[in-house]
Amino acid sequence: MDRTSFFSPQAGRRIDVPRAARARFAIGDVVCHREFDFRGVVFDIDPVFAHSDAWYESIPEDMRPDRDQPYYHLLAESEENSYIAYVSQQNLMPDTEGDPVHHPALDQLFERFEGNRYQLRASLSH
Q: Evaluate if residue 6 carries a pLDDT over 70.
A: no
Q: pTM score, two decimals?
A: 0.83
pLDDT greater at residue 7 or residue 36: 36
- pLDDT, tens digit (0-9, with 9 covering 90-100), for 70-100: 999 999 999 999 999 999 999 999 999 889 9
CA contacts within 13 A on the Cβ side of 1: 9
Q: How far apart are CA 54 and CA 31, in angstroms?
A: 26
All structural domains of the chain: 3-124 (2.30.30.390)
The burial of 40, by beta-carbon neighbours within 10 Å (0-12 exposed, 13-18 middle, 19 or more buried), is given as buried
> Which letter does DSSP use for residue 100 in this model?
P
Q: Which of 87, 78, 71, 74 is nearest to 41 (CA)?
A: 74
Q: Evaluate if residue 18 carries a pLDDT over 90.
A: no
- pLDDT, tens digit (0-9, with 9 covering 90-100), for 35-60: 999 999 999 999 889 899 899 999 99
Predicted local confidence at residue 19, as pLDDT: 62
Q: Span 91-114, mean pLDDT?
A: 94
pLDDT greater at residue 5 or residue 25: 25
Q: What are phi and psi of 35, to 5 degrees?
A: -105, -35
Predicted local confidence at residue 5, as pLDDT: 64
Q: How far apart are CA 41 and CA 118, in angstroms?
A: 8
